[in-house]
Amino acid sequence: MTRMMGATTWAAFAPILAGLALSAMAAQADETAPGDAAAGGALAERLCARCHAIAGPGPSPLVEAPPFSGFERQWPVYFLAEAMAEGLVIGHGPMPEFTFSPQQIEDMLAYLHSVQLADSGAVADGLALATEDCAACHRVQESQPQPPAVAINETTTQEMIAAPSFREIARRDGRDAAYLRSFIQEPHYPMPEQQFIPEELNAIVGYIVSLKDSAGSW
């Protein structure tokens, strides 16, 4: 059943959706593949770009339609899962009704995660966490000296390599928020497995992304 919301603010209805969204996503978890941010971006371009700024800080083509990049400043993007599944009209009257398949929900949520812009507070939190948890191997800010090289054990030999700085990582092609989030959750050898709660992971990823256009060559 489709539900309607007119002038209700986004912040007001977000807590109501939280419990429903979590249960909906749990029920879908066994039926869908992991979200594809590229597919979600194509879906957003086709269905949403006429009104919303779907990448970057905006403004949106329709002034009252919030930019996609700022959703997580008010609530986690996964709160939208139930709304998308039921075709909820959100925030303003002109928005048409859409109903998404479970896989489209996963794809759209992956895309929304990939375009979030961290605010200054989140970036500061990300730097603090990176300094505590990542600086033993990576240079996480310009003022930090280069950490010692990391030993890589091959079949019969051992090689020493320097882990890339966070700025190097941020400037590599394809290192957007979605890629970084996925890599940190499922790292490749020799990077050890990480145990971050979602808020910590988002803060670290936001900090790395913020370095993409930073000055210097560290």
Q: Which of 163, 154, 199, 201 is nearest to 179 (CA)?
A: 201
Residue 157 sits at the vertex; the CA angle it makes with 154 and 161, to the nearest 5 degrees, is 70
Q: Which of 114, 118, 133, 129 is nearest to 39 (CA)?
A: 114
Q: Give tens-digit pLDDT for 38-77.
A: 899 999 999 889 888 887 777 888 888 888 887 766 666 6
For residues 204 and 184, is the Cβ–Cβ distance under 8 A?
yes
CA atoms lying within 13 Å on the CB side of residue 1: 2
**How many residues are recorded in the chain?**
218
Tokens representing 22 are 């979590």
Q: Give tens-digit pLDDT for 147-203.
A: 998 888 777 777 888 899 999 999 998 888 878 888 998 888 888 888 888 888 888
Cα torsion through 17, 21, 24, 25, rounded to 10: 170
